[in-house]
Amino acid sequence: MADEATRDRVRALVRDVLSKTIPDESQTGLSISPAAPTSAIKSANQTVTRDESAKLVITEDDVRGLERGAVLRIAENARLTPLAADIVSERGIEIVRRVSRSGSKQMKTVAVGADHGGFPMKEELKTFLGELGHRVHDFGTNSESTVDYPDFAHAVARAVADGAAEVGIVIDGAGVGSAMTANKVPGVRAAACYSVEVARNSREHNGANVLTLGSKTISSEEMREIVRAWLSTELTEDRHRKRVGKIEAVERQYQR
Quick: pLDDT tens for 184-222. Answer: 999 999 999 999 999 999 999 999 999 999 999 999 999
For residue 9, the model assigns a pLDDT of 57
**Domain C-terminal end among 99, 125, 155:** 99
Q: Give me the amino acid identity at 238.
A: D
**Is 236 part of any domain?**
no
For residue 208, the model assigns a pLDDT of 95
Average pLDDT over residues 84-108: 74
Q: pLDDT averaged over the chain?
A: 81
Query: Does residue 28 sit in helix, strand or coil?
Result: helix
**Is 251 part of any domain?**
no
**Is residue 75 located within the same domain as residue 166?**
no
Do the beta carbons of residue 114 and residue 172 sit within 8 Å? Answer: yes
**Is residue 120 located within the same domain as residue 212?**
yes
For residue 40, the model assigns a pLDDT of 33
Please determine, for residue 158, whether its predicted confidence score (pLDDT) is greater than 90: yes
**Is residue 73 located within the same domain as residue 156?**
no
**Is residue 50 located within the same domain as residue 123?**
no
Query: Does residue 169 sit in helix, strand or coil?
Result: strand
**Domain C-terminal end among 64, 99, 134:** 99
**Cα 57 from Cα 48, distance rounded (Å):** 18
Please determine, for residue 105, whether its predicted confidence score (pLDDT) is greater than 60: no
**Is 176 part of any domain?**
yes
The answer to whether the predicted template modeling score (pTM) of the entire model surpasses 0.75 is no
CATH code of 226's domain: 3.40.1400.10
- Domain count of the fold of the chain: 2
**Is residue 82 located within the same domain as residue 110?**
no
Residue 36 or 144, more confident: 144
Residue 102 or 130, more confident: 130
Average pLDDT over residues 99-127: 83
Residue 84: band (very low, low, confident or very high) from pLDDT cuts 50, 70, 90: confident
Paired sense of beta strands 210-214 and 167-172, if any: parallel
**Is residue 193 located within the same domain as residue 118?**
yes
Q: What does the buried/exposed string (b/e) look like for 224-242 if buried means 16 or more CB atoms within 10 Å of the residue's CB? A: bebbbbbbebbbeeeebbe
Query: Does residue 74 sit in helix, strand or coil?
Result: strand
Bridge partners, 213 (sequence order)? 171
**Is residue 88 located within the same domain as residue 191?**
no
**Is residue 82 located within the same domain as residue 14?**
yes
Please determine, for residue 115, whether its predicted confidence score (pLDDT) is greater than 90: yes
**Is 242 part of any domain?**
no
Do the beta carbons of residue 136 and residue 129 sit within 8 Å? Answer: yes
**Is 77 part of any domain?**
yes
**Is 240 part of any domain?**
no
Please determine, for residue 104, whether its predicted confidence score (pLDDT) is greater than 80: no
**Cα 197 from Cα 248, distance rounded (Å):** 24
Residue 191, Cα to own-chain centre: how many angstroms?
14
**Is residue 44 located within the same domain as residue 144?**
no
**Is 130 part of any domain?**
yes
Please determine, for residue 2, whether its predicted confidence score (pLDDT) is greater than 60: no
Q: What is the per-residue DSSP string for 227-252?
A: HHHHHT-----HHHHHHHHHHHHHHH
- Domain range for residue 49? 2-99
240 has catalytic annotation: no
Tens-place pLDDT, residues 5-52: 655 655 555 455 444 433 333 333 444 343 333 333 333 345 678 888
- Name the active-site residue from 116, 134, 137, 205: 205
**Is residue 43 located within the same domain as residue 75?**
yes
For residue 17, the model assigns a pLDDT of 40
**Is residue 27 located within the same domain as residue 85?**
yes
Burial class (CB in 10 A: 0-12, 13-18, 19+), 67: exposed
**Is residue 88 located within the same domain as residue 171?**
no
For residue 201, the model assigns a pLDDT of 93
